[in-house]
Amino acid sequence: MSPTSESVTAYVALGANLGDAAAAVRQALDDLARLPRTRVTARSSLWRSAPLAAGGPDFINAVAELRTGLAAPELLHALQRLEDAAGRQRPYPNAPRTLDLDLLRHGDARSDEPRLQLPHPRMMERAFVLRPLAEIAPHLVSAAALDAVAWQAIERLP
């Protein structure tokens, strides 16, 4: 994709805790780069985090910065298709998953629709989002925000 005046910077949180979670997150990062009118401009390290308000194995997480010409609803739909292709099932809230892709921000867009809330309403409560986001976009995460989630178990993988 070549950047245009119609493209925006978006951030996507990635996570998985079933199967080979690290491979699933790496594959999803590659898949994001293949979305139409989209390129990945930054990728965080992989991070391991304990499930938050859920059971199951530890998660592998990352955050990607995208430059995209897709509108927020189009990007969300594309993310959901990637989840489905990875075998994502939703038997109950916070169930373990093969892949979870959350649209955190889409430019300066604001949305409070049931299917699309921007910026993501719980991103500031989650170390597994804030730590990788701070790695690639430190201007978006304050020290106070990181301090507020410091109690959550998370480690950067080598």
What is the residue whose two structure tokens read 């780069």?
33
DSSP code at position 16 = E
Establish whether the linkage from the previous residue to 158 is cis, with ω within 30° of 0: no
Residue type for position 17: N
Helix (H, G, I), strand (E, B) or coil at 147: helix
Where in the sequence numbering do the catalytic residues fall?
Answer: 88, 97, 100, 102
User: In whole angstroms, what is the distance from residue 44 CA to residue 31 CA?
Assistant: 15
Structure tokens that stand for 28 in this block? 């999803």
Burial class (CB in 10 A: 0-12, 13-18, 19+), 28: buried
Instruction: Provide the 10 A C-beta neighbour count for residue 77.
Output: 13
Helix (H, G, I), strand (E, B) or coil at 143: helix
